[in-house]
Amino acid sequence: MGMTMTQKILAAHAGLPEVRAGQLIRAKLDLVLGNDITSPVAINEFEKAGFSSVFDREKIAMVMDHFVPNKDIRAAEQCRQCRAFARRFDVTNYFDVGEMGVEHALLPEKGLVGPGECVIGADSHTCTYGALGAFSTGVGSTDMAAGMATGEAWFKVPAAIRFVLGGKLALRVSGKDVILHIIGKIGVDGALYRSMEFTGPGLASLSMDDRLTIANMAVEAGAKNGIFEVDEVTMSYMKGRADRKFAVYKADADAVYEQTFEIDLSAIEPTVAFPHLPENAKTFSEIGEVPIDQVVIGSCTNGRLSDLAAAAEILEGRHIAKGVRVIVIPATMAVYKEAMKRGYLETFIDAGCVVSTPTCGPCLGGYMGILAAGERCVATTNRNFVGRMGHVDSEVYLASPAVAAASAVMGKIADPRVLMGEKEESK
């Protein structure tokens, strides 16, 4: 019986010839990740267990991104604890103010993750790195502590769901629309503890940024991980970022999948997830008049250069609607710098937006964009749970950067194709 991509990676890292869904294994890790919220808990557990060394100082990454620059005393204390740990063990990949970024955008950009690797992170969106053909998944801080000390982790091998992609995305449609469409189709528990495996001829038309966005939100369908078949797009992205050798795993022809979904990319339209779950996906034929108060463009889902480019193209020469607040957050310092060179930041500022240093900030209701009761926000983030971005009576609508920018201009949830004169407004 054949194995899926995920199963092959796990078998290789467990030193086994094969693994099966449901099997418990102990696998070696290529990278262990933590941030300023989860790392302190892991450090406490690390010390409580009596560990006196890390397994590999170059295979641990700590990214200060959630409440950085520090929003309060507690955030400052958490970061100080992480800095002390990083100094004590000479952790190579420690990223703080001025050189950090939102972790799941920063690590791929730095070449710290790659095809065929096994990665854990004390953050649920660690599944992002499946876009590069890695097995990556979120874990608790206790698992992070054990991983930092031993370089290993326990896993239950997940069963898999296959998504065969065909066609090509239309103008103003992106990876965010694809994953919202899929979650709307299968639900927030539709891939519960499964591996979401993406393949098919449509892959060739998806940029790496599209893939990173899709893999990032696999966990929003309940998945253990999301993973893309490695191709030329993958290897082109890795070129110049990392010089180590990668193992490329393809699913066997007789690999077992619990379900297979055929997705025609050309049929997907701009999509918005209404409160309070990512599965509440609607296209513009289903959306009426929804006034908004705030727009957030950024996060580990959509804060990359192509995301800012999509928003800047729409905002160029326009101004956001009166009464709407717009926060733009480049995901990394490299993205920030390149966006500045290309004039995107000036476009945002001229349009009435505020531009922030990289941070998770408002995504998790941390700071820099907290919502009051009754307020509505269109966000390019990944979750719209009750109270996610502030008051429990506020509302978050998930969308692509193009939809977010168009909505900012119109003061309501808006179709970017209509704003740009590319589609007649539905009657």
Q: Where are the domains of the chain?
A: 5-265, 273-416
The arrangement of strands across the sheet holding 60-63 comes to 93-95, 60-63, 31-35, 118-121, 135-138
Let me know how long the chain is. Answer: 427
> Under a CB-based contact definition with an 8 Å cutoff, are residues 138 and 123 in contact?
yes
**CA 180, 184, 185, 188 torsion-angle sign:** positive
For residue 165, what are its two tokens?
A: 């992609």
CA angle (322, 325, 330) in 5-degree steps: 135
Count the Cβ atoms, other than its own, within 10 Å of residue 245.
Answer: 8
Say if residue 336's pLDDT is above 80: yes
Q: What is the pLDDT of residue 424?
A: 53
Say if residue 426's pLDDT is above 90: no
Helix boundaries (H) for 342-415: 344-350, 401-410
Q: Which CATH architecture describes the domain 273-416?
A: 2-Layer Sandwich (3.30)
Range from 180-189, 291-300, 415-424 carrying the lowest mean pLDDT: 415-424
> Under a CB-based contact definition with an 8 Å cutoff, are residues 397 and 384 in contact?
yes
Domain 5-265 has CATH 3.30.499.10: yes
Residue 317 pLDDT grade (very low, low, confident, very high; cuts 50, 70, 90): very high
pTM over 0.85: yes
5-265 against 273-416: fold identical: yes
**DSSP-assigned states of every residue in 11-77:** HHHHT-S---TT-EEEEE-SEEEEETTTHHHHHHHHHHTT--S-S-GGGEEEE--SSTTT-SHHHHH
Best-predicted range by mean pLDDT among 66-75, 131-140, 357-366?
131-140
Q: What is the mean pLDDT of residues 78-88?
A: 97
Say if residue 107's pLDDT is above 90: yes
Q: Tell me the CA distances in angstroms from 284 to 357, 414, 424, one per residue in order.
A: 32, 8, 12
